[in-house]
Structure 1
Amino acid sequence: MELWEYNLLSRVKRVWVLLTVIFLILSAASGYGYYTTPPIQDSKVKITSTLYTWSGELEGRGVVLKPNPLWEVGKKVELPIYPLSITPLAEVELKFNVTGKDVRLQFERDIKAVYYLSYEDKRVIEEVYKVISNTSVGSCFSEHLTLDVNDIFDRIEEARNVLRLPREKIGVEIIGKVRYSGTVDGKPVKGSQEFKGSISFPYEAFYMISGENKNGTETFTETTSKTSPANQKKRTVLLSLSLLFGVLAVGTAIIGTKFKPNLYDIQELAFRRERRKLSKWISSGKLPTILPSEKVELASLTDLVEAAIDMNKRVIYDSEEHIYFFLSEGVLYYFKERSIGEKK
């Protein structure tokens, strides 16, 4: 055993009861903190997800009413421009669709056609030509409005002949409105959309149909509970401290009950430490058979080594005689190693 170990164990033994109690309290407190610190935590999080998507379109086509070599009478055609002589009727279609889970909606819609005559973008004549309204249930619908473009053009021409405006502009505005309400995936929903289209007359006896299509996404936000790991570092530290203090409590109890200081020679331990400290100035050897008559015994190994250093000598250790010595100018300087149990 080393001297420092002996001193440490001796100090612990003197207060081992107090140390054991303190370590047990600290171990218990750390353990209590570990078990009362939750490993998981519940938190409220807001999750936004898609409830449904919608899409709608207002489009038109011409209806062939005059026999011709290109199309059969009654056929609906889609052309970039329509001749009034062959397709005097225009059919406008409003389509709307809702996509989602368990869609249960009631739709209300109307399509309105308004013809106008304007001057410098200000409408002088504006008349509702035709309106159609309808309702249905489900997830989608398709509604049609048929317009007599010849009749509309004649009405506009009548107004033009009366007003004779310069830089005039004529056309037909088509407005489709959709309103819906109900449930999607069991959640109440409500909304409305508007689609616009037009019939224009770029050339005499010809017309064009245009419309818009739109789509969108509706989301919903819900608050839900989320469980996630928590306090992992804190719990690890508390558990480590609890185990550490527990081991220290056991260790101090063992030292207090098992360690016997009187079984160790403290002077021997101190000499061992001194011997290791001075070992680089000591060599092994034999005490000469014939010794000089003049001898000087030093009180300690340290004193002997310091004297040897001053005289530029090296200390020799004879393991059989248990003596440390050196010779200088016919004088034997030595230190006798004390046997275990020997008293000075």
Structure 2
Amino acid sequence: MLEIFFLKLKNTLINNSRIFIVVLGIAVILSSSWAYEAYTQDVYEEQEELISSYTQHGKYTYTAPVTEKNPLYSKGSRLEMGKPMYFFAASPTLEVSLAYNLNATDSAFLRVECETVVVATSEENSGGSQEIIWKKEFPVEEMGYANIGNKDVLIHDFSVNVSEIRSKVIGIQDQLKYSSDTTIEIVTHVNYKGEINGEEINNTTDFALPLVINPAYYKMPEKLEFNENNYTYEKIIVKKEPSVSSIKLPLSLFLLSTILVGALIPCTKMNNVDPELIRRLKKEEKYSSVKEFVSKGKVPDNWSSLIQVEIYSLHDLVDAAVDMNERVVNDIESGVYFIIHDNILYVFLDVPSKESEDEN
């Protein structure tokens, strides 16, 4: 079947090769023109360009003065940072310092105001998320201000009576008759207003320091340093550099058309496959299921004196031969299949139809 298909395809290519070459030649010209146009055409895109940036830096330091008599520390001494816990019985008060500075890419002239509060928040798990039940702020340090420039450091000092904060939180829980986990944070609001990198700025940044408070002691977090980056972008239109990816389709079409033209040129000098060969191959394929019942031979000279019975298909003739215990004989020159039984000639004339000839 494949052999016949390829032979027919070969004849089609040979008969129409010049037409195909002309069509593909036009495709070569159009695709090359398309590729050139796509590669040389100016293409623009929108991009974001960083025009200014600044970084705010905040770092907490603290000490816990020993103000109460206790069996561990001398009264009047100071407990430095890094201890696993601080006992209310020895150091109920925490002295904290926040060092704040702003680093701009160009310049900064700011009025900075700092205000510190302790924020107690009671939350409860609801549907897989935390829901705030109540929230309370306790003022610690009133707002103070200073003028700073680029990279100048502002020191903001304050003290927190942690024992007093704990008592206030317990008092709220007792009055509400509702006890739940409560988180406590020291939050410093840094309000800065002025000019950064030539632009007017008025903004606020919060630096939060969480506390872990237990009945007998409190803990300070390990992370005491914070950075916040601020970027200002401007949208600009830029010209894109030519890219091979922009001509993938026309270039592929150009290469494919060129290859096909090169493959078709030899077809213009080839001869067609003999239609008789194709017809014979089709015939062999058609009768392949009964070929074991057919022998090659020649119609006898006295065939006209025999009684003739015409059979309309080779398969019917083979069935008759099997019933009569005879073999089918094929006269290749005349295309006749026949059997002779009791002086009767059973014949099938394998004459190709007009449609079959046209198909070949």
- Structure exhibiting the larger radius of gyration computed from Cα positions: 1
Structure-2-length-normalised TM-score: 0.44
TM-score by length of 1: 0.46
